[in-house]
Structure 1
Amino acid sequence: MSKTIALTGNERFFDESKIIVSKTDLKGRVTYCNLQFVEICGYSEKEMLGQPHNIIRHPDMPRCVFELMWDTIQADQEIFAYVVNRCKNGDHYWVNAHITPSHDATGKIIGYHSNRRVPDRDKINNAIIPLYKKLLDVEQAHTNRKEGMKASRAMLNDVFQSQGMQYDEFIARL
């Protein structure tokens, strides 16, 4: 499936009583998606299963935030993050994601589970969008993608340190 879907600029919304759920394997390939996920992203369950979760990655989402999420969950910790996703038709939607590792009976991480809820619009508009724009500007100022992500991650860490907190505290206090 193509990642070159033209963006429409149209935002989709879902009801506050709904929760978007997906599960992935260790490599981020979708192993489960609920009806709410299918309805908002526009891909069928059949189209989603086995695909990398980043099939819905929106280009306005800073890569350093995904790196932070992966680092956190691979370290067997949960994370909350605001994410903008791209739909199959190029629309987008915002979520407040809670991502946790899934374990087998011995405690070994076997995949990841994500519940996404409707985000607080004031937090998205007043804090997250401006922050993500700055992070993207830093990422895109580098011709080397890895260097850009490294620079934006350093900027993100500086934001937390300047406020004397870690990422999870930063998100919780927004």
Structure 2
Amino acid sequence: MSREKILEPDTLITSKTDLKGNIIYANDDFLKYAGYKMQEILYKPHNIVRHPDMPKTVFKCLWDYIQDGKEIFAFVKNKTKQNDYYWVFTNVTASFDSQGNIISYYSVRRKPKREAIPTIEQVYKILLEVEQDGGIKAGVDELEKIIKSYGMNYNQLVLNLQR
């Protein structure tokens, strides 16, 4: 039975990945909550902490945003090495070289607003069901419908839930 780990209010989980999503940096908070040692995660895919309750749609949108050089916010349920889980409010940005080329991605994760989690869980449950029936394209279409129903863009909706 997996248990939830609740982030301390001052937690700042940070990590950096290469262009393929492999971890090239993780701070002590990342290691503490994920339950890994640095040598276990360095140069491994960041999805080592991906929880199966997370829809692929969310990560497709995330990658679309950051590969385009845009910042994105999201609520993410992560899995620990011990198969427990923890929710984070994440902000992911691209890092650029002096010529404006994306060279890596940087993510900062904080404690999410607890009141937002039931709403997010419901949205993710819907997305998982839609993905199971119609694939990632159907998931993206469904997410766009959900976002439009709130009358704002994706980042606005996520930031609104975190307020």
TM-score over 0.5 (shorter chain): yes
Shift of 1:57: 0.6
2:97 maps to what in 1?
Answer: 104
Residues 19-168 of structure 1 aligned to structure 2 (within 5 Å): 19-125=12-118, 127-142=119-134, 148-168=135-155
Secondary structure of the residue aligned to 1:141 is: helix
Counterpart CA distance in 1 for 2:96 and 2:69 is 9
The CA RMSD over aligned residues, in Å, is: 1.0
> Taking structure 2 as the reference length, what is the TM-score of the superposition?
0.95
User: What aligned pairs does 1:1-16 form with structure 2 within 5 A after superposition?
Assistant: 8-16=1-9
Please give the per-residue CA displacement for 1:104-157, whole angstroms capped at 9, x wherever unaligned.
1222100100000000011012x1011101111111224xxxxx1111110000
Gaps of 5+ in 2: none
Cα displacement (A) at 1:49: 0.5
Q: Which runs of 5+ in 1 are unaligned?
A: 1-7, 143-147
Distance 2:122 2:79 in 1: 19
* Residues in 2 aligned to 1:74 and 1:36: alpha-carbon distance in whole angstroms: 26
User: d(CA) in 2 for partners of 1:128 and 1:163?
Assistant: 14
Determine what percentage of the aligned residue pairs are the same residue: 45
Q: Which runs of 4+ in 1 moved over 6 A?
A: none
| AA matched with 1:91 | D
Alignment: residue pair count? 161
Name the CA distance, whole Å, in 2 between partners of 1:93 and 1:102.
26
